[in-house]
């Protein structure tokens, strides 16, 4: 880009943002250009994370602020760039998580410009969150797109960690080489994006690790362990070995017996109601028995439990479910 073209892009960016938000808000964004840190810069960050996006909510101003940040990304100070990249990652994750949101639909159209800006960012300004930001915007491209090839090539330049492997998989890259990694985050990311039998076996294995929830939260900015469990239950279990089937049943029981762990997705695998029958009668009875015995599921989480059981085609009262389990065991 020539100097004149760069100046026009900058002028256009400032003109558009001044037309979209108030003058005090524009002043906050100007702080991102300064080559220093401190309270002033923190005010700009608070605007990005507390106003342009707030507690996982997108707004009408999110779009013009995103456009401004993308156009000016290479103009920000190094510290500002790191936080703006994190913010761009957050916006991409929220669009992915809430695709029907009207603001998300508009933001989605910025996908090419966002990824191109990230690819063009100077190497010295790419922080540890850089690869995760690329991964957050991967969901809107075909793996065979020319841009996808370029992103995968860029990702392979970086040290292997969970976030980078997750981004590579999201962009259609092969993650099978990382299934045997000693790093739990790398192994989890690789298995999440590898739908082979080997990948599924590793996904079952990592879901038994007590640290998996924290690890996944480090990989995906808005990630929940529910996402990993839901990915597992959608896998193809046809021809599954009995030993693996037993492991799957034990995993379902473990989640139903552990506080605050998502057991609901495993209802898709039971052999009664609307389940697909991957779990046999004994495993189904043990799993549902664990649900019956979970006091929390019938007190603080009762609404979610009832809704999940109804959706699964099962009795939604504790006593009726207990009777069903007893009949299956008799």
The Cα 115–Cα 167 span in angstroms is 12
Residue 6: pLDDT band (50, 70, 90) is: confident
**Better pLDDT: 185 or 142:** 185
Q: Please check whether residues 125 and 20 belong to one and the same domain.
A: yes
Q: Is the dihedral of CA 69, 73, 75, 80 positive or negative?
A: positive
Q: Please check whether residues 170 and 75 belong to one and the same domain.
A: no
Q: Please check whether residues 163 and 218 belong to one and the same domain.
A: yes
Beta bridge partners of 54: 57
With a cut of 90, say whether residue 199 has pLDDT above it: yes
Q: Please check whether residues 2 and 135 belong to one and the same domain.
A: yes
Residues 15-41: tens digit of each pLDDT: 999 999 999 999 999 999 876 666 788
Q: Please check whether residues 97 and 124 belong to one and the same domain.
A: yes
Task: Using CB atoms within 10 Å of the CB of residue 138, give its burial: 0 to 12 exposed, 13 to 18 middle, 19+ buried.
Answer: buried
With a cut of 70, say whether residue 184 has pLDDT above it: yes
**Better pLDDT: 300 or 305:** 305
Domain of residue 118, residue span: 1-140
**Structural domain count, the chain:** 3
Last residue of a domain, one of 234, 259, 275: 234
Q: Please check whether residues 117 and 151 belong to one and the same domain.
A: no
Residues 281-298: tens digit of each pLDDT: 999 999 999 999 999 999
Residues 43-67: tens digit of each pLDDT: 999 999 999 999 989 999 999 999 9
**Better pLDDT: 2 or 325:** 325
Q: Is the dihedral of CA 105, 111, 112, 113 positive or negative?
A: positive
Q: Please check whether residues 176 and 47 belong to one and the same domain.
A: no
Residue 271: pLDDT band (50, 70, 90) is: very high
Q: Please check whether residues 249 and 146 belong to one and the same domain.
A: no
Last residue of a domain, one of 114, 140, 166: 140
Residue 208: predicted pLDDT: 94
Q: Please check whether residues 133 and 204 belong to one and the same domain.
A: no
Residue 141: predicted pLDDT: 86
Residues 96-129: tens digit of each pLDDT: 999 999 999 999 999 999 999 999 999 988 988 9
Q: Please check whether residues 136 and 10 belong to one and the same domain.
A: yes
**Contacts for 5-8 with beta carbons within 8 Å, 24 or more apart?**
none
With a cut of 80, say whether residue 158 has pLDDT above it: yes
**pTM for the complete prediction?**
0.91
Q: Please check whether residues 152 and 259 belong to one and the same domain.
A: no
Last residue of a domain, one of 140, 161, 176: 140
Q: Please check whether residues 24 and 112 belong to one and the same domain.
A: yes
């Amino acid at each position: 880009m020539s100097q004149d073209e760069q100046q026009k892009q900058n002028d256009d960016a400032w003109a558009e943002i001044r037309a979209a938000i108030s003058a005090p808000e524009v002043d906050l964004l100007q702080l991102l250009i300064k080559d220093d840190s401190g309270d002033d810069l923190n005010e700009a960050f608070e605007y990005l994370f507390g106003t342009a996006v707030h507690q996982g909510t997108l707004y009408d101003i999110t779009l013009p602020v995103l456009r401004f940040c993308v156009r000016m990304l290479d103009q920000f100070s190094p510290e500002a760039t790191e936080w703006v990249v994190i913010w761009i990652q957050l916006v991409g994750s929220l669009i992915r998580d809430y695709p029907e949101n009207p603001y998300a639909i508009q933001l989605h159209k910025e996908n090419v410009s966002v990824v191109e800006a990230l690819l063009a960012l100077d190497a010295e300004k790419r922080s540890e969150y850089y690869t995760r930001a690329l991964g957050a915007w991967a969901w809107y491209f075909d793996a065979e797109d020319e841009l996808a090839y370029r992103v995968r090539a860029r990702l392979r330049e970086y040290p292997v960690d969970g976030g980078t492997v997750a981004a590579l998989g999201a962009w259609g890259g092969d993650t099978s080489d990382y299934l045997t990694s000693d790093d739990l985050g790398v192994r989890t990311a690789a298995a999440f994006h590898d739908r082979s039998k080997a990948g599924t076996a590793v996904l079952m294995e990592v879901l038994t690790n007590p640290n998996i929830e924290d690890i996944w939260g480090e990989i995906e900015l808005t990630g929940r362990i529910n996402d990993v469990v839901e990915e597992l239950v959608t896998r193809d279990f046809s021809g599954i070995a009995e030993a693996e089937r037993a492991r799957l049943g034990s995993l379902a029981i473990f989640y139903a017996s552990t506080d605050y762990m998502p057991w609901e997705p495993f209802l898709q695998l039971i052999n009664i109601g609307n389940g697909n029958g991957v779990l046999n009668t004994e495993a189904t009875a043990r799993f549902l028995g664990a649900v019956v015995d979970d006091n929390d599921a019938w007190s603080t989480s009762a609404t979610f439990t009832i809704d999940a059981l109804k959706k699964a085609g099962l009795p939604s009262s504790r006593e009726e479910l207990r009777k069903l389990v007893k009949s299956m065991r008799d």
